[in-house]
Chain A
Amino acid sequence: DAMVIQNPRYQVTQFGKPVTLSCSQTLNHNVMYWYQQKSSQAPKLLFHYYDKDFNNEADTPDNFQSRRPNTSFCFLDIRSPGLGDAAMYLCATSSRTTGQPQHFGDGTRLSIL
């Protein structure tokens, strides 16, 4: 089945130690998104790529960056994680061409020690 795959499912890092989360997709969608979701809250959009065009949300901290080396992969880099960055990180994809709804991965739960 075509999917959005996030690795790892659980990630533990130390305060201030850079961490990278990965997302891959087999849907060939041209838009990829990263969301942060804290407990009992709705997902909060951090940024998205339309092809290689990067779109940052105005309130996304500078500590969060992203890379999309090709259509299939997208990475979320957290340069210096703080305790407040502990959350579930969700990757999603969609196709601007077909207008289909966003398709989500299962997420990576990030813990900060």
Chain B
Amino acid sequence: GDSVTQMEGPVTLSEEAFLTINCTYTATGYPSLFWYVQYPGEGLQLLLKATKADDKGSNKGFEATYRKETTSFHLEKGSVQVSDSAVYFCALRGTQGGSEKLVFGKGTKLTVNP
């Protein structure tokens, strides 16, 4: 079945550092890929998405590129802020039956220190 493997956390960075959170997936066909962010005590917010190979999703300085050849969707940000401290989930939405369903990675907790 479909699966998402995400970089284990926690990740601790200083403000203005470069961020990469790795995400790879296994899926049949051409899934859509997402990054969701969860701030403490809140629900999940969609951060960015990509629906086909070579698409680049971007939002709030975060970027991720859908790489079919490496089945990856790594999240990057050039300069993190304290307010980026949160848990980040990589997810895919497959193309098989029940394709509304999301398959999540385990999440990566990011802490940014001033």
Chain A positions within 8 Å of B, measured between CB atoms, are 4, 6, 31, 33, 40-43, 45, 48, 50, 55, 90, 92, 94, 96, 99, 101-107, 109
Whole-angstrom CA separation of A4 from B49 in the bound complex: 20
Q: Which A-chain residue is minimally distant from B10 (CB atoms)?
A: A40
| In the complex with contacts A41-B107, A42-B89, A106-B100 CB distance below 8 A | no
Q: Is the interface of A mostly helix, strand, loop or mixed?
A: strand
Q: Is the CB of A48 within 8 A of B100?
A: yes
B43 touches which of A45, A96, A99, A105 (Cβ 8 Å): A105
CB-CB under 8 A for A103 and B100, given A40-B107, A42-B107:
no
Name the A residues within 8 Å of B109 (CB-CB).
40
Q: How far is the CA of A41 from the CA of B34 in the complex (A)?
A: 17
A39 nearest CB across to chain B (Å) = 11
- Please report the total number of B residues contacting A with Cβ < 8 Å: 21
A101:B43 contact, CB within 8 angstroms: no
B101: chain A residues at CB < 8 Å are: 45, 48
Select which of B42, B44, B100, B105 is within 8 A of A31 by beta carbon.
Answer: B100
Knowing A42-B89, A42-B105 are in contact, say whether A55-B43 is a contact too (CB < 8 A): no
Which residues of the other chain, B, contact A42 by a CB distance below 8 angstroms? 89, 104-107
Contacts of B32 in A (CB 8 A): 99, 101
Question: When A and B form their complex, what is the total count of cross-chain residue pairs whose Cβ atoms lie within 8 Å?
Answer: 47
Q: B: which residues have CB within 8 A of A? A: 32, 34, 36, 41-46, 49, 89, 93, 98, 100-102, 104-107, 109
**A33 proximity list for chain B (CB < 8 A):** 100
The residue of chain B having its C-beta at the shortest distance from the C-beta of A6 within the complex is B43
B41 contact set on A, CB distance < 8 A: 109
A33–B98 CA distance with the chains assembled, in angstroms: 12
Q: B107 near A90 (CB under 8 angstroms)?
A: no
Partner of A90, one of B44, B98, B100, B106: B44
B42 contact from A40, A41, A50, A107, Cβ within 8 A: A107
Considering the complex of A and B, which 9 residue pairs feature the smallest CB-CB distances, nearest first? Answer: A42-B104, A104-B43, A104-B44, A106-B43, A107-B43, A101-B46, A31-B100, A105-B43, A106-B42
